[in-house]
Structure 1
Amino acid sequence: MKSTRKDKAPRPNKPKTLLQQLAAKPEKLFSGAFRQQYAALCFRFLPEAAGIEILVVTSRDSGRWIIPKGWPMKGRKPYEAAAIEAVQEAGVSGKVRKKPVGSYTYLKLLDDGDVVPCIVDVFQIEVTETAGKFKEKGERILAWVSPDEAARRVREIELKSLLVEFVPR
């Protein structure tokens, strides 16, 4: 006689991956319920026209490599919100382009455990100033790397393409 699941000890609740959580609620992907975010693609020119470096930071929760990003801010234009995120998350500021250089999508794990798809508009910032103190100092690791290395570090496929193909405008 086969044993049924009821006969066995209960399994501990193992956390599900973002994809597993989304697969359980596929309607979220197709309901048009994408949340908007804004990101800062921070870069600096290397001396003697040797190219550029891009700033990547770690996320506070998982420690994965990202670019500074956040939610829309009341009373702020999208490019202003991206610039504020760059200051808060990495202590950098500079010349911000008002039109996005691209966008990417990803799955965001919210504080309540819910998962939502997000679309992120990316604004370039030519970094001219770095602060010794900033809001999230000590909560993130910052790295200035080549566009190829930045693309290797981030997970999101569309962001990888943006970083590899990025040309300052």
Structure 2
Amino acid sequence: MTKKTYLRQLASEADKLFTGHTIEQYAAICYRWRPGKQDVEVLLITSRESGRWVIPKGWPMDRKLPHQVAEREAWEEAGVSGKARKKSFGYYTYLKSLDTGETVPSVVQVHLLEVAGMSAQFPEHGQRQLKWLQPNEAAALVREPELKGLLRMVEAAIAKDRKAKDPTAK
């Protein structure tokens, strides 16, 4: 028996994607400037179920906009406080295993979140591991191809925004 690759698994669920049988989630790529450096680090966390490296993400919430959900999930899952950008940075798709045992494609809207602070005490403390990495290192650890691509674009996107705000910035 041949083990299905991740892309093959996702492809086998393509009919659900094309017919709109998907779920929507919101996520944050949490980033910070390395102390004394000009480069950026991003935060990965482990999922509670499988231990895979992921970014904080969650379900839509009543009366919260997508970027606000991303902020809330970053707090609950990693103890991160900060402001997420209102405009989405991109999207990725992954296969979500529901409690019913069904697998459903999830389309995740991702927002960049600049970290203002971190707390040692947060709702999911002790349930996840956290790791700060350079974006390319983080991309190598995540499973989803589209998320890999987003992580690889983080540094350039942030540098571009920084340059637009301050033309003298490096």
* TM-score above 0.5: yes
Aligned position for 1:110: 98
Conserved? CA contact 2:25–2:108, under 8 Å: yes
Deviation of residue 50 (structure 1)?
3.0
**Bigger Cα Rg:** 1
- Deviation string for 1:68-91 (max 9, x for gaps)? 001100110000000000000000
Which of 65, 80, 84 matches 1:77? 65
Any residues of structure 2 matched to 1:1-169 within 5 Å, and which?
Answer: 23=12, 27-166=15-154, 167-168=157-158, 169=161
Within 1, Cα distance between the matches of 2:71 and 2:92?
Answer: 18
Within 1, Cα distance between the matches of 2:5 and 2:99?
Answer: 15
Classify the secondary structure of the residue corresponding to 1:132.
coil
In the superposition, the TM-score normalised over structure 2's length comes to 0.83
My pick for the range that moved more, 98-107 or 28-37, is: 28-37
Aligned position for 1:11: none
Aligned position for 2:164: none
Classify the secondary structure of the residue corresponding to 1:49.
coil
- CA change 1:20–1:143 in 2 (3 A) is closer
Aligned position for 1:6: none
Conserved? CA contact 2:71–2:83, under 8 Å: no
- CA change 1:51–1:21 in 2 (3 A) is closer
Q: Which stretches in structure 2 are left out of the alignment for 5+ residues?
A: 162-170
Deviation of residue 96 (structure 1)?
1.6
Aligned position for 2:165: none
Conserved? CA contact 2:10–2:94, under 8 Å: no
Letter in 2 for 1:99: K
Within 2, Cα distance between the matches of 1:135 and 1:124?
Answer: 21
After superposition, the CA RMSD in angstroms is 2.0
- CA change 1:26–1:96 in 2 (3 A) is closer
Classify the secondary structure of the residue corresponding to 1:150.
helix
Conserved? CA contact 1:22–1:28, under 8 Å: no
- CA change 1:48–1:107 in 2 (3 A) is same
Q: Which stretches in structure 1 are left out of the alignment for 5+ residues?
A: 1-15
Letter in 1 for 2:61: M
Letter in 1 for 2:102: D
In the superposition, the TM-score normalised over structure 1's length comes to 0.84
